[in-house]
Chains A and B, each alone.
Chain A
Amino acid sequence: MDNFKQKFIEEAADLIEGLEKALLLLEQNSEDAGLIQQVFRVMHTLKGNSSMFGFELIDRYTHNLETVYDLIRNKKLKLSRDVLDVTFASVDHLKQLLDESNYSDPDFITLHNSLIARVSKIINAETVVETVEKSANQDIIPDLAKEEFTYYIRFEPINEIFKNGTNPLYLIDEIHTLGKALVFAHLNRIPMLIELDPLKCYTYWEIILVTSADVATLNDVFIFVEGESKIEIQRVSEEDILTDDFFTSELTRIAKIHKDIGIAATMKVAEAAKKRFLQSKAATIKKEKVGLKDASISSIRVSSEKLDSLMNLVSELVTTQARLSLFAEHNNTPELISISENVQKLSRQLRDTAFSIVLIPIEHMLTRFQRLVRDLSNDLKKDVVFITEGADTELDKTIIESLSDPLMHIIRNSLDHGIEDTHLRLQKGKPKQGKITLKAFYSGANVHIQISDDGAGIDPDQIREKAISKGIIPPDKKLSNKEILDLVFLPGFSTAKKVTDVSGRGVGMDVVKRKIADIRGEVEIESEYGVGTTIIIKLPLTLSIIDGLLVKVDETHYVLPLSAVDKIYAVEREQLYDKFNNVLVLEGKQVSFFNIRKEFELSDSPLPVEQVIVVNFEENRVGLVVDSVVGEYQAVLKPLGKHYKKQEMISGATILGDGSIALVLDTNKIIKLFSRIEDYTMNVNSGNK
């Protein structure tokens, strides 16, 4: 039973999330009947499920909410701001209700009862608010236009019709242009050849037409033959019954046997068809109701533990496969080599598939932010719109999980400190409504997430002053704008003049930076004073595997992320040692380089020729000198563990085919460290410890 309950809770959480999403949309577009329907549906499902699994509180609660939306659906109640506010509060409450341990909390019960009271109040107020009729009528008109009717048309031209130059087929064609038509041409009046007068028309037609046009329009078609020919037009059904297979086949059958259908028979068949039509229509509505579920049938729910263990197994397989390849290479058996190559191919495919499984679109966390912006902008009395782009960008689920908090913080900052008050915005000549944009996109092997606002921006002078007053930088220190902005990532650096409830509680951008660094990401900030701020988060696609370049320095293997590697050059050692400055000229360009042996305090290499790996570092190209390059390598990243937490330049380790360990280097960190770029974050961090 507990198992089922767990399933219910999972499903309910999904439903509630869907509900929140629909509500946010509904707020933008409160007249959308489809969305109201969707909200109602979710509540209905939630109600049904919860009563089934004994969550009585949820059952009763959603029952009331459902009533509210039923009233709205039937235009008996207007979807007011008040209703939406209560619904949003209810969404939060429902989330809490899923956790049964809350039930014993007296505060929780008080909240529960007060919310129920609010909802009931809305229901009871229903009779008072009856002013929605007008808008209801408006809604119906466009619906009418789309409706289609089925007509029966009998067209019996007089025999002499050809004489005034009319081709009856043209008329039939014209009817055809009005809609869908089923035409029966009756030839039974055509006499034997002897008696046939080629100048006379013996054929007559019966047409079943489905169109949105009215009878007058149809009559117009026959305007020139009217009076002479026999024309009968009759509406047989208010629906499009031509879609009914039985209707058409029955008519065809009658036409074959009786040569003539006649209006009476048509009506009779149409009546039967109508009944079936209404039934099937009801069925489609039902289908639409469960549409949400139908859509998800192609996917299944798998616990994340299972996925994690799948990922682990795949990682193990990749490692083992590397061993097999190595073994096959040493054992010159042709058959073994081909098998090992096959295994390599398969495991690579398996790896890619498995990794794509754990990638989920960032859309999953966006609802939360929409909600945050909505609630906060209300609290702060600011008019702010939250726009998302690239919501289908996919990321590793563990990354998404750890990304939520930092993003929340950034958006909160933008709302609180970035976007100005409405009157200030108008003064500055900005649009009244503030804008926060979250944009996600792929960039090489990375995913970038940009959060920009069109708010006040950051005043570099203010940051500078503050850094000086806090003793972080000496007063005479010259810093570029970018360097100044980077200061906000320092611990304890909160620039807001007053600490508000929303943000600025001492935990600032440094926490954001650290959290992002935990998932091997980087944060950058760009800001133009008075215009707005953009924060860019660069993230790896996945945490557990990277395509790397395997190199050797002294006795140790290292892996460099292939995405950072630009080119590799073989350079003679004279050029690398005893130089005044560490600059090489490669292909006519100066490239500064670092000798890894030297930086790692190892003895100089005895090799006559060493390899310089040129990597991209920010906007520059920097060379790293290693002894030799082994080749491309798929590194399954394993953490070095807490003991090596301080070795920031090493992002992990990987196990090579022969069972030995290679260290995975973080090229950005390593270059920063080697070049001793003044990273205040590091200074302050080490100062604390």
Chain B
Amino acid sequence: MNNEDLSKINSFLSFKLGDEEFAAHVGKVLNILEMTKITEVPRAPEYMKGVINLRGTVLPVIDTRIKFGMPPTEYTTNTCIIVLDIDLDGESIHVGALVDSVQAVLEFDSSSIMPAPSIGSRYRSEFIEGVVNVDEKFIMILNMDAVFSSDELSNMHDKTKETEGSTAIVEIE
């Protein structure tokens, strides 16, 4: 399936980090795994949880909560690893994202996706593709390529404000 075909599909996988609900386009999701033993890689950044064996290949796993500026994930029976296909510098790589729980596959028309509020957001705007209102809940649709690019070492939670003062992101805790 090429990108054009993918963009015609309006299905999104929603998942929870803490109390907040996010969604990713299903075209990006390869797999959902139960939590397994993660081999830690020493001296790596905290959000890089380690690697797991995904049917013979080595898959790096990222703690999405740390990446989003939340406390580290506590493992429960609902904890899952979503295997994502990320486009990194034009190269397709696979990454596992630790999430607290996977919710559902939602379908909504692209017209119902609203642009993310550029002011008042806790998250850096380039990571959010839009916001959608499902059953009175706001679900943030993430740009997975941007979130999991390895160059984005800083937390999603904006800490680069000092250096990039012009990006009009205000931190509200």
Is there a chain A Cβ closer than 8 Å to B1's Cβ? Answer: no
Q: Is the CB of A647 within 8 A of B44?
A: yes
Q: Is the CB of A655 within 8 A of B39?
A: no
Q: Is the CB of A643 within 8 A of B62?
A: yes
- Bits for B91-130, please: 1 = Cβ < 8 Å to A, else 0: 1011100000000000000000000000000000000000
- Bits for A394-429, please: 1 = Cβ < 8 Å to B, else 0: 000000000000000000000000000000000000
Is there a chain B Cβ closer than 8 Å to A77's Cβ? Answer: no
Q: Is the CB of A661 within 8 A of B62?
A: no
Is there a chain A Cβ closer than 8 Å to B58's Cβ? Answer: yes
Contact count A vs B, C-beta below 8 Å: 68
Q: Which residues of A contact B88 (CB under 8 A)?
A: 642
Q: Is the CB of A644 within 8 A of B56?
A: no
Stretch of A60-68, A249-257, A530-538, A633-641 on the interface side: A633-641
Q: Is the CB of B93 within 8 A of A640?
A: no
Q: Which residue of B lies closest to A558 (CB)?
A: B42
Q: Would you give the shortest CB distance from B7 to chain A, in whole angstroms? A: 25
Stretch of B13-21, B22-30, B45-53, B71-79 on the interface side: B45-53
Is there a chain B Cβ closer than 8 Å to A651's Cβ? Answer: no
Which of A556, A600, A643, A655 has a CB less than 8 Å from the CB of B43?
A: A600
Q: Is the CB of B150 within 8 A of A642?
A: yes
Is there a chain A Cβ closer than 8 Å to B41's Cβ? Answer: yes
Q: Which residues of B contact A436 (CB under 8 A)?
A: none
Q: Which residue of B lies closest to A553 (CB)?
A: B42
The listed residue with most B CB atoms (<10 A of its CB), out of A599, A600, A645, A653, is A653
Is there a chain B Cβ closer than 8 Å to A663's Cβ? Answer: yes
Is there a chain A Cβ closer than 8 Å to B37's Cβ? Answer: yes
Q: Quick one: given A659-B53, A661-B52, are A641 and B41 in contact (CB under 8 Å)?
A: no
Q: Which residues of B contact A662 (CB under 8 A)?
A: 39
Q: Is the CB of B52 within 8 A of A643?
A: no
Q: Is the CB of B39 within 8 A of A660?
A: yes
Chain B facing A: main interface SS: strand
Q: Which residues of A contact B34 (CB under 8 A)?
A: none
Is there a chain B Cβ closer than 8 Å to A566's Cβ? Answer: no
Q: Quick one: given A316-B56, A655-B56, are A640 and B51 in contact (CB under 8 Å)?
A: yes
How many chain B residues sit at the interface, stated as a range, is 20 to 34
Q: Would you give the shortest CB distance from A688 to chain B, in whole angstroms? A: 13
Measured CA separation A264–B81 after assembly (Å): 98
Q: Is the CB of B56 within 8 A of A319?
A: yes
Q: Is the CB of A663 within 8 A of B60?
A: no
Is there a chain A Cβ closer than 8 Å to B3's Cβ? Answer: no
Q: Which residues of A contact B57 (CB under 8 A)?
A: 638
Q: Is the CB of A663 within 8 A of B48?
A: no
Q: Quick one: given A638-B58, A641-B60, A642-B88, are A653 and B43 in contact (CB under 8 Å)?
A: no
Q: Is the CB of A643 within 8 A of B48?
A: yes
Q: Is the CB of A663 within 8 A of B53?
A: no
Q: Is the CB of B93 within 8 A of A641?
A: yes
Interface residues of A in 191-223 (CB under 8 A from B): none
Q: Which residues of B contact A645 (CB under 8 A)?
A: 150
Is there a chain A Cβ closer than 8 Å to B40's Cβ? Answer: yes
- Bits for A51-80, please: 1 = Cβ < 8 Å to B, else 0: 000000000000000000000000000000
Q: Is the CB of A643 within 8 A of B60?
A: yes
Q: Which residues of B contact A601 (CB under 8 A)?
A: 42-43
Q: Is the CB of A661 within 8 A of B39?
A: yes
Q: Is the CB of A661 within 8 A of B53?
A: yes
Measured CA separation A38–B51 after assembly (Å): 55
Measured CA separation A556–B91 after assembly (Å): 30
Q: Which residue of B lies closest to A639 (CB)?
A: B58
The listed residue with most B CB atoms (<10 A of its CB), out of A600, A601, A641, A655, is A641
Measured CA separation A640–B62 after assembly (Å): 13
Which of A639, A641, A660 has a CB less than 8 Å from the CB of B37?
A: A660
Q: Is the CB of A556 within 8 A of B44?
A: no
Measured CA separation A643–B153 after assembly (Å): 10
The listed residue with most A CB atoms (<10 A of its CB), out of B43, B88, B150, is B43
Q: Is the CB of A644 within 8 A of B39?
A: no
Q: Is the CB of B37 within 8 A of A643?
A: no
Which of A638, A639, A650 has a CB less than 8 Å from the CB of B41?
A: A650
Measured CA separation A643–B151 after assembly (Å): 8
Measured CA separation A599–B57 after assembly (Å): 27
Q: Is the CB of A644 within 8 A of B37?
A: no
Q: Which residue of B lies closest to A656 (CB)?
A: B53
Q: Is the CB of B37 within 8 A of A640?
A: no
Q: Which residues of A contact B40 (CB under 8 A)?
A: 556
Is there a chain B Cβ closer than 8 Å to A525's Cβ? Answer: no
Q: Would you give the shortest CB distance from A548 to chain B, in whole angstroms? A: 16
Q: Is the CB of B58 within 8 A of A641?
A: yes
Interface residues of B in 54-70 (CB under 8 A from A): 56-60, 62
Is there a chain B Cβ closer than 8 Å to A649's Cβ? Answer: yes
Measured CA separation A435–B128 after assembly (Å): 61
Q: Which residues of B contact A653 (CB under 8 A)?
A: 39, 51, 58
Q: Which residues of A contact B91 (CB under 8 A)?
A: 642
Measured CA separation A681–B139 after assembly (Å): 45
Q: Quick one: given A556-B39, A600-B43, are A643 and B95 in contact (CB under 8 Å)?
A: yes
Q: Would you give the shortest CB distance from A554 to chain B, in whole angstroms? A: 9
Q: Would you give the shortest CB distance from A218 to chain B, in whole angstroms? A: 79
Q: Which residue of B lies closest to A641 (CB)?
A: B60
Which of B43, B56, B58, B94 has a CB less than 8 Å from the CB of A640?
A: B58
Q: Which residues of B contact A640 (CB under 8 A)?
A: 41, 51, 58, 60
Q: Which residue of A lies closest to B42 (CB)?
A: A600
Q: Would you give the shortest CB distance from B159 to chain A, in whole angstroms? A: 16
Q: Is the CB of A655 within 8 A of B53?
A: yes
Q: Is the CB of A663 within 8 A of B95?
A: no
Q: Is the CB of B56 within 8 A of A647?
A: no
Measured CA separation A650–B93 after assembly (Å): 19
Q: Which residues of A contact B62 (CB under 8 A)?
A: 643
Q: Would you give the shortest CB distance from A316 to chain B, in whole angstroms? A: 6
Point out residues on A near B: beta carbons under 8 Å: 316, 319, 556-557, 599-601, 638-647, 649-650, 652-653, 655, 659-663
A-B contact pairs, 14 of them (CB 8 A): A556-B39, A556-B40, A601-B42, A638-B58, A643-B48, A643-B62, A644-B41, A644-B48, A644-B51, A647-B41, A647-B44, A660-B53, A661-B58, A663-B39
Given contacts A640-B60, A660-B39, 20 further A-B contacts (CB under 8 A): A556-B39, A601-B43, A639-B58, A640-B58, A641-B51, A641-B58, A641-B59, A641-B60, A642-B93, A642-B150, A643-B95, A644-B51, A647-B41, A647-B42, A653-B39, A655-B53, A660-B53, A661-B51, A663-B41, A663-B51
- State the 8 A-B residue pairs at the shortest beta-carbon distance, nearest first: A600-B42, A661-B39, A638-B58, A653-B58, A643-B60, A643-B150, A641-B60, A642-B150
